[in-house]
Amino acid sequence: MSKSAILSIAVRYLLPLQLLFALFVLVRGHNEPGGGFIAGLVVAAAFALYAIAHDVRQARAVLRFSPRRFIAVGLLLAAASGLVALLAGKPFMTGLWSTVELPVIGKVGTPLMFDIGVFLVVIGVALMMIFTLMEE
């Protein structure tokens, strides 16, 4: 299968931009529309485009972690965000925020932690499906 030089060069510049946009959507999501699900889909689309331009093997190498690891860490993080409330004597999955406000993000708390968990799970599930289909 011949590779497109134009697509390969375009992906070299698009991948970092898509990852940066996903980070923006993730961080913005706990105050405005966006969040972990949409940001995870953006990351998965970026790596799917990379796999189309190069190869699934190379895309896996650039990703560095297996999609299964993203799923596992994301599930643990999402569950841990609910356990924080239990440890504080509140009902499971009650949102708790810190008193410190960060310049760009604002107040961080368990909802952002949950969003990051969702973000990782979506990346893992979507890329596992995409890579498996592309390898077939």
What is the rounded radius of gyration, in angstroms, for the C-alpha atoms of the chain?
17
Number of domains in the chain: 1
- Total residue count of the chain as it appears in this document: 136
Instruction: Give the residue numbers spanning the domain of 16.
Output: 5-135
Chain centroid to CA 118: how far? 7
Give kind and range of the element (H or E) at residue 100.
Answer: strand 97-102
The pTM score is: 0.89
Q: Does residue 136 have a pLDDT over 90?
A: no
pLDDT at 104: 74
H or E stretch at 67: helix 67-87
pLDDT tens per residue, range 17-68? 999 999 999 988 766 777 899 999 999 999 999 999 999 999 999 999 999 9
The reported pLDDT for the residue numbered 31 is 66
Tens of pLDDT, residues 79-126: 999 999 999 899 988 888 888 888 877 788 888 899 999 999 999 999
pLDDT: which is higher, 3 or 26:
26
Asked if the model's pLDDT at residue 2 lies above 60, the reply is no
